[in-house]
Chain A
């Protein structure tokens, strides 16, 4: 029974709760039992069991009174980068180990206002810097998938690895992640779930701990494309507290599920055939294009010539903004403070040396360097020029096509002990995802196939600004053709 409740999609749970097939309390308890059973996945940093049960009772009372809201009683997992009022929010860092925000992020507030229930805060790479969850100060989250040949556990991807693992292992009905360079899409692909990075400005960043402010976006991570559409519609919209949020209408995304793509023009960006891409993914990419063609879409080859420069530009802009955003963690107010400081500068240096992990320090060094006098023009200014070029090329391409199709990652998930040791190889994981963030575009990763080792592979769709409707429509076609086998026990 417990597994049956948990295996439902969010849309199914929503329908069954409204028809009162089971109570919100029963659903919450089903997930809580699984969270306990799957502690080894280390998907959560902080669980809020009492909180969730209380919320479930409130939801059941509203169902009884006929006052249920859109997400009434839906148990979600929230990446630990969203500030949640009264619930510890760490961003996966020792720096914020004891930080309990006195405010709620706009995105999570919208979910709460719609009746959603939070099961807990999920594990993540420290301050969202990483592609395998290995930089978390709270230990790595683990994917529930295992390789068939040697039974090795896989990394869940990052940085929203905890949210991806929790969703894939049916520990929640859906989850929230953030995506700065692929942090929703890559773990979604690695864990065999759907993840969407919306257009920059679609969702408010208020209350989301910043990594690189000009690239960060929140988005849902769910089992199905339909589930992602349901959640995105709720969390979208202009927020006067975020100057970069966009004042545009939020369409009824769920209506796109199952809609026809007849006549839709799908571009295949040739530069995305990167060196090191696995044969399995190349084949899946072709298969995906064929599925869309069979469904009535027109397949067009597209060129985005600046793509090879995206990764270097990204790894300048991201650390530059991060180095400045992280200056506030100085040991003076809410962040970790050393117990050994002798004077002010000692306090800064020790608190930051103790509080930040290796990858965070590396990016602060890089970011500080590229913004320094004498290097600023050569690095930061040039990276911004590359960014402008990439954006321009996408806009050009979208004059001829409606969406682009590419793999989400060059390879499937790797085992934990096979993780690349040098950061540059690790950064290559983001080669197919960062372009979208640099251009501010929306993109979705849909689970589309398995490797020979029976581990997940994802395909990515990219749309013009504020055309998430194209992603849901096309994504649901891929999904129904792929008949992807979700992870199950046994």
Chain B
């Protein structure tokens, strides 16, 4: 084969995402699923695979899988089958994982990503199936022993498998971010990668466009977006190097080592597993009712793509603002709650797009800064959507200026009451009385006679200086527009 330049290689990526289902109890037992509980306190006899124990399917987990399938525009299979995947490991008490193999609950679908602004790309979904999570083996508590925590054993997972549609690490990351956002909007997974609620295995191969796909390697054990990107980039270069030096890529499972940023081959023993899948005789085929699926479909929340579109079309938000607001469901929920209060207060006096824009600026600016520099979260912040809306209302109705509003915002972090009450408490109302402002303007110009003369001689820049002096004299409370108009008039 003639040596070819790196440019001619195309990287082909598919993902297998494991998303922990948000549910009160496990997939086949009534044990709770709360993260971070003391080891082995959330384990039923079923989870520990005691003799004679039988799994009973948790229908809430099934609904979560259906909702996720609907969010992925996927086919929901009316009949699916749970099978046993057999292998020995101490954190797998039954010696088999109950999973879906030949007949998953969700079939083909798609999710749209925007690898570059304004450029949409559909990533195909191959399937989604339900399965049990394993427990945790803790190897680092003792040099002699491995400890086992079964709290996670039996928790429901959705395995979401994509088609090999991604062509770069950035597309893979864009997909994962989009999927995470969707899951969080649907409330089917909390998307927390640090706690392991969202994990991904990556399948990568390289080939030259127009030729058949190359041999793929599967990378396991990558638990953050950054590591996934690193692992993909490392593996892509490794495979290209191999091929360019005339060596074949071996189909194998590789582990990502975060400390070196490299992938390495797993031992043969782990590669050579035969899982002996067969239908679990303890469970009947899962049969879904069409009407039930339609009910779930009707009750789906507004999904991020539609929400983004609505914010842009109805409220005239920029794509940039809309993206930020939509990026987390709690952002959007907060913003929309505040916008609702604001629109109700303003009535038709101010255009909705003006309200939406100024609210977006404050939300993405001052409010985010507030979250960053204090310990509060969306749940605990004293600046509720209603209070923020109250503040914006005062700006839009010219009770206070934008500048004063920043002070009011600071008071709101520590003081009780509405923005209006705080403004009254601290005497921060904007001066709108033209006569009173005119008298101050007059005083300032009299005091600054020299500068007035200079201005009149052509030093235009002094106009700003006069504004500053007047604002200082009014402690910032003068309506800036009124000041402008009066200054121009009095300066002739």
- Complex Cα spacing A247 to B210, Å: 58
Q: Which residue of B lies closest to A206 (CB)?
A: B54
Residue of A nearest to B150 (CB): A333
A330 and B284 form a contact (CB under 8 A): no
In this assembly, does A54 line the interface, its C-beta being within 8 Å of a C-beta of chain B?
no
With both beta carbons as reference points, the residue of chain B lying nearest to A208 in the complex is identified as: B52
A212 to B281, CA, bound (A): 8
The proximity string for B residues 44-87 relative to A, scoring 1 for CB distances below 8 Å and 0 otherwise, is 01001111111111000000000000000000000000001010
A243 in contact with B95 (CB, 8 Å): no
In the complex, how many angstroms separate the beta carbon of B418 from the nearest chain A beta carbon?
53
* Chain A 327-364 near chain B by CB (<8 Å), digits 1 or 0: 11010111000000000100010000000000000000
Q: What residue of chain A has the Cβ atom nearest to residue B84's Cβ?
A: A324
B276 within 8 A of A: yes
Q: Do A373 and B95 touch across chains, with their CB atoms under 8 A apart?
A: no
Please judge, given known A-B contacts A243-B282, A371-B276, A373-B274, whether A210 and B52 are in contact too, CB under 8 Å: yes
Q: Is the CB of B90 within 8 A of A344?
A: yes
Q: Is the CB of A103 within 8 A of B45?
A: yes
Q: Which residues of B contact A324 (CB under 8 A)?
A: 84, 86, 95-96, 276, 278
Q: Judging by beta carbons under 8 Å apart, are A244 and B90 in contact? A: no
Chain B interfacial residues counted at CB < 8 A: 29
Closest chain A CB from B242 CB (angstroms): 28
Contacts of B277 in A (CB 8 A): 371
A207 to B45, CA, bound (A): 11
CB pair A328–B282 under 8 Å, yes or no, is no
Contact with B along A213-244 (1 / 0, CB 8 A): 11000000000000000000000000011111
- Rounded to whole Å, the gap between the CB of B268 and the closest CB of chain A is 15
Q: A243, B281: Cβ atoms under 8 Å?
A: no
Bound-state Cα–Cα, A56 to B492, Å: 114
Secondary structure class of chain B's binding surface, majority of residues? loop
B residues less than 8 Å from A103 (CB atoms): 45, 50, 52
Q: Which residues on the A side are within 8 Å of B54 (C-beta)?
A: 205-206, 241-243
Cβ contacts under 8 Å, B276 to chain A = 323-324, 368, 371-373, 376
Q: Are A243 and B51 in contact (CB under 8 A)?
A: no
Among A83, A243, A321, point to the contact of B52 (Cβ < 8 A): A83
Please tell me if the beta carbons of B95 and A330 are within 8 angstroms of each other in the complex: yes
- Residues on B with C-beta less than 8 A from A41 are none
How far, in whole Å, are A89 and B52 apart by their CA atoms in the complex?
11
The answer to whether B51 touches A89, judged by C-beta atoms less than 8 angstroms apart, is yes
Complex Cα distance, B276 from A348, in Å, reads 19
Q: Is B378 an interface residue (CB 8 A)?
A: no
Closest to B87 in A: A327
Residue of B with least CB distance to A347 = B90
Query: B57, B94, B95, B146: which has the most chain A beta carbons within 10 Å?
Result: B95
Closest to A96 in B: B51
* B283 lies within 8 A of chain A by Cβ: yes
Chain B residues lying within 8 Å of A332, measured Cβ to Cβ, are: 90, 93, 148
Task: Decide yes or no whether A188 CB sits under 8 A from chain B.
Answer: no
Instruction: Name the one of A91, A371, A373, A380 contacting B51, with C-beta atoms under 8 angstroms.
Output: A91
Are the C-beta atoms of A328 and B90 separated by less than 8 Å? Answer: no
A387 to chain B, nearest CB (A): 12
Measured CA separation A284–B278 after assembly (Å)? 42
Q: Looking across the interface, which residue of chain A has its beta carbon closest to that of B28?
A: A243
A102 interface contact, C-beta 8 A: yes
Q: Which of B55, B96, B282 has the most CB of A within 10 A?
A: B282
Is B234 in the interface zone, CB < 8 Å from A? no
Residues of A within 8 A of B45 (CB): 102-103
- In Å, the complex CA distance between A422 and B53 comes to 33
A99 near B: Cβ within 8 Å? yes
Q: Does B88 contact A (CB under 8 A)?
A: yes
Chain B contacts for A205, CB-based, 8 A = 52, 54
Chain B residues with CB below 8 A from A207, complex form: 52-53
Q: How far is the CA of A344 from the CA of B55 in the complex (A)?
A: 27
Report whether A328 and B281 are in contact in the complex, using a CB–CB cutoff of 8 Å.
no
A243 touches B56 (CB 8 A): yes
Chain B positions within 8 Å of A17 at CB level: none
Query: Which residues of B lie under 8 Å from residue A312 when comparing CB positions?
Result: none
Tell me which residues across on chain B come within 8 A of A212, comparing CB atoms: 281
A16 at the interface (CB under 8 A from B): no
Q: Look across to chain B and name the residue whose beta carbon is closest to the beta carbon of A204.
A: B54
Find A333's partner among B48, B52, B57 (CB 8 Å cutoff).
B48
Residue among B93, B146, B274, B282 making CB contact with A344, cutoff 8 Å: B146
Those of B139-182 within 8 Å (CB) of chain A: 146, 148
Q: Per-position contact with B for A46-61: 1 when CB-CB < 8 Å, else 0?
A: 0000000000000000
CB-contacts of A13-42 with B (<8 A): none
Compute how far the CA of A301 lies from the CA of B198 in the bound complex, rounded to whole angstroms: 62
Which of A91, A320, A328 is most buried by chain B, counting CB atoms within 10 A of its CB? Answer: A328
Which residues of chain B have C-beta atoms less than 8 A from A376's C-beta? 276, 278
On whether the beta carbons of A206 and B52 are closer than 8 Å, the reply is yes
10 chain-A/chain-B pairs, Cβ below 8 angstroms: A105-B52, A205-B54, A206-B52, A208-B52, A209-B51, A243-B282, A244-B284, A324-B86, A328-B93, A334-B50
9 pairs of A and B residues whose beta carbons are closest in the complex: A327-B95, A214-B281, A371-B276, A213-B281, A207-B52, A328-B49, A209-B51, A83-B52, A373-B274
